[in-house]
Amino acid sequence: MAWKTVERPGYLGKKRNEVHASWTKQYGEHQWRLAYQWGDLVIPRDFGIQIYEDGYYEFFKENPETLEWLVSTASDVYDTAPTNVQAGFDYTQQETPNSHIHDVAIRRAVARSGTWFTGDHLMHVRWKESEGFRINPGVVPFHQPELIYSGEIKDYGGRGTWWNEKTIEDFYQRNKLLQVQE
């Protein structure tokens, strides 16, 4: 099976399910996929998410004071809703309209660092006014910024580019590919 890239879909936001349904209608069930550009390679989405997670792991290695603050303050983290904690370490558990992978990536990177949460409350890591915003993927630098695609991407979510350049989120949105079977 050969896959052909048809676009760079960028941010989907709350329209994720609607956009996925439109792709299924246009290309057929199981005839499209999301993948990632990684240098000259096109890699499966799960590998792209692993690289996204690596961004957090590398950030915590370079910023141990941030890791210590996080694990000593929070009992766990969430992105879109407190129910996100039910996903644990599983990226496929998506119970809200917006994808929430950075909470899973943070949990996994914390565990990979050999530590765990000991704080006294659940920490929101999404909005600017949230306590955990400093570890939002739109502000945390990506560990290999030279591999982030710099061209135009689509904005299905309608929010524009809400993240900073050369961050984990910049990689996640800019390197994303929509591919269809040829």
Q: pTM value?
A: 0.92
**11-15, 42-46, 76-80, 110-114: range with lowest mean pLDDT:** 11-15
Burial of 125 (0-12, 13-18, 19+ CB in 10 A): buried
**CA-based nearest residue to 148, from 51, 57, 63, 59:** 51
% of the chain with per-residue pLDDT over 90: 81
Q: Give the angle 129-18-102 at the CA atoms, nearest 5°.
A: 35
141 and 3 Cβ atoms separated by less than 8 Å: no
pLDDT in tens, 44-103: 999 999 999 999 999 999 999 999 999 999 999 999 899 999 999 999 998 887 789 999
* Domain residue spans of the chain: 3-181
When mean pLDDT is compared across 10-19, 33-42, 129-138, 166-175, the lowest value belongs to: 10-19
